[in-house]
Amino acid sequence: MSCGPDWTRQVGKSVVVLYADCEVYYEGRASSTASRAWRLVILKPDGTILIHTDESYQPMNWQPPGSRITVTTTNGKTTILAVRHRPREVIKVIIHDIEWACWGRPSEGLFRLNGTHDDLKNRIARNITRYIPGGKVIGVEYEIPGHGIADIVAIDGEGRKWVIEVKRQCADLQAVSQLKRYVDALGASGMLVAPCFTSGARELALKYGFRLVEEEP
């Protein structure tokens, strides 16, 4: 990692990160203007540009890989232009001052995502009797024509059908409504598995007679 005034030479070669006092203009599928303020600007060699404020993890403005990024300086004022051609979108960043600018070339290490939705769903299917006494899995990713795809459909020891909907994150009202569609279509009992439930989701699920199971991915 290096820092200094030579960051403009690194654009397109390294990941460049600036903390800059800047204005931001966007033209494309819509248009926006952000007045002068201090922001975090990230430029990547693949053409990605991200502009962050001090709120949220999501950028205020961004362009995906494939954009053409150019940097020009006129009368002491630096302008970053990121142009995407399909669809045509343009981000212009006018920089008035820079507190710091750094760049580097991150190496590609091994990335492995654990605890995915599929991991949780398959773990439940492999251990179905833990969730449904005497349970047997009828299908995983079970298609219900006209209604969608249920995560797991199973039968219990008494032959009753169950639909199990799995959520990797906290289950909300939409998750309960989704399960209700599947349950009604199959004439089954319902189970919602998630690490947590919103208060509204919990209330509605219990009203429908669904079983709630808290399970971490």
Letter string b/e over residues 157-178, b meaning 16 or more CB atoms within 10 A of that residue's CB: eeeeebbbbbbbeebeeebbeb
Q: Tell me the pLDDT of the chain averaged across its residues.
A: 91
Taking the CA atoms of 153, 156, 217 and 107 in sequence, report the sign of the dihedral they define: negative
113/33: higher pLDDT: 33
User: What per-residue confidence (pLDDT) applies to 171?
Assistant: 92
pLDDT tier for residue 142 given thresholds of 50, 70 and 90: very high
Report whether 155 contacts 136 (CB < 8 A). Answer: yes
> Which residues have C-beta within 8 Å of that of residue 156, sequence separation ≥ 6?
132, 133, 134, 135, 162
- Percentage above 70 pLDDT, the chain: 98
pLDDT tier for residue 116 given thresholds of 50, 70 and 90: confident
76/89: higher pLDDT: 89
pLDDT tier for residue 112 given thresholds of 50, 70 and 90: low
pLDDT tier for residue 186 given thresholds of 50, 70 and 90: very high
User: What per-residue confidence (pLDDT) applies to 102?
Assistant: 96
Please compute the mean of the pLDDT values over residues 40-59 and round it to a whole number. 92
Using CA atoms, how far apart are residues 175 and 196, in angstroms rounded to an integer? Answer: 12
Using CA atoms, how far apart are residues 54 and 38, in angstroms rounded to an integer? Answer: 9
pLDDT tier for residue 113 given thresholds of 50, 70 and 90: low
Domains of the chain, first to last: 2-104 (2.70.180.20), 117-214 (3.40.1350.10)
pLDDT tier for residue 21 given thresholds of 50, 70 and 90: very high
User: What per-residue confidence (pLDDT) applies to 72?
Assistant: 95
User: What per-residue confidence (pLDDT) applies to 111?
Assistant: 58
Q: What ranges make up the beta strands (E) of the chain?
A: 2-3, 15-27, 31-43, 49-52, 61-63, 68-74, 77-85, 88-104, 136-144, 148-155, 161-166, 189-194, 211-214
User: What per-residue confidence (pLDDT) applies to 35?
Assistant: 95
Q: Which of 102, 87, 90 lies closest to 15 in space, CA to CA?
A: 102
pLDDT tier for residue 126 given thresholds of 50, 70 and 90: very high
User: What per-residue confidence (pLDDT) applies to 30?
Assistant: 84
Please compute the mean of the pLDDT values over residues 70-84 and round it to a whole number. 92
Taking the CA atoms of 89, 95, 100 and 104 in sequence, report the sign of the dihedral they define: positive
Using CA atoms, how far apart are residues 42 and 34, in angstroms rounded to an integer? Answer: 17
Q: What is the CA radius of gyration of the chain?
A: 25
